[in-house]
Amino acid sequence: MNQNNPNSPRILMVCRQASGGIRRHLQILCEELPNRGFNLQLAAPEPLSISNVPSISRYTLSIGSGGYGMDILSALQLTPIARHNDLIYGHGVRGGFVAAITGLLSKRPVIATIHNQPPDSRLARSVLSFLGKRCRFVIAVSHAVAADLATKIPADKLRTIPNGIRSLPFLTDGDIRARKSEIGVDPDRPLIMSVGRIAPEKNMIATVRTMPMIWRTFPDMVLVIVGDGPNRGELEAEVKMLAERSRQIILTGFREDARYFIGAADVLVIPSTQEGQGLAALEAMDAQVPVVAFAVGGIPETVLDGRTGLLVPPNDLDAMAKAIVKLIGSADLRRQLGSEGRCRVRDSYSVVQMMESTITTIREALSPTH
């Protein structure tokens, strides 16, 4: 089957403005589902950068920019389109909410994927309980996210399906030097990198604050932070406080090709205070780059401490700096952790595994006997 087969199941996918791991997950679904026999339509705000998928039809939807009342209006607008689909598939709490309302109004089955640990608020709990009633299934991207959902979503409706990624080719030493140069880093200097949205939960400022401790041992260390977001100004101010040393910290802003540069780093640092799964960690592991991260959310499921990276207690900057110094000081340890990380991605986090589980869930949701 293919996207043009009128008898193929029709899926309306709903999401709010997405970046980082959620956007990359959506990209894979938009590429893979049509190839596996589904007609797919995407309802999302513009711009939502999902590239190289010409067969996907798009519907511009206002979602997540106002309160939940505005999301209900969006669901009302989406309902006539939903009636031409067989399944509504929401992403995130807000996308799931709009999908659930749309499914209720159009009398269509609904599934939703929750990508991050939801906020602990009365409103969020109410919305999740509503999803538990209206959705055929709710997918969590990690056991940590599933544990947070377990009190709101019935056990028989809750599925855990980790994100999967496509492995990229190995980088040669020449590739690594060239990519360092592309982002303004001397190829002979050690490089640590953080990749993600510059927002409170991603806590990028913590990586900057570890640098004075790291420079005591490795004075030529360079930090590159790839990403953008609402806390960009605060982060820039923190960097300026380092005076002359600020030149050893590079803020690239958002880059569509962020994954392309991860392989140039000696260590990927994930300073998040909450993390649903940690897709950047998977991408680093695939590139044989060891990870240093706070042990929060789904990170300990993704990064095996002492095997594919080093985990430290949440918000312990001293422990994080020591872990980075330990890895930078031992090329053998970096190679060991990097090699095992690549194997772990291949064995446990492939796109094939993710899609098989996702399609099984979709087909169960579409079953008239469910």
Residues 64 and 102 in one domain: yes
Residues 48 and 83 in one domain: yes
Residue 47: inside a domain: yes
pTM: 0.89
- Residue 216 — pLDDT band, cuts 50, 70, 90? very high
Q: Which domain holds residue 305?
A: 173-348
Read off the CATH number of the domain in which 237 is found.
3.40.50.2000
- pLDDT 10s digits, 333-342: 999 999 999 9
pLDDT at 7: 74
pLDDT at 1: 40
Averaged pLDDT of the chain: 91
Please count the structural domains in the chain.
2
- pLDDT 10s digits, 157-214: 999 999 999 999 988 899 999 999 999 999 999 999 999 989 999 999 999 999 999 9
- pLDDT 10s digits, 87-97: 999 999 999 99
Looking at the chain, the whole-number percentage of residues with pLDDT higher than 70 is 94
pLDDT at 61: 83
Residues 107 and 202 in one domain: no
Looking at the chain, the whole-number percentage of residues with pLDDT higher than 90 is 71
Task: Measure the CA–CA gap between 279 and 349, rounded to whole angstroms.
Answer: 10
Q: Is the pLDDT of residue 18 over 80?
A: no
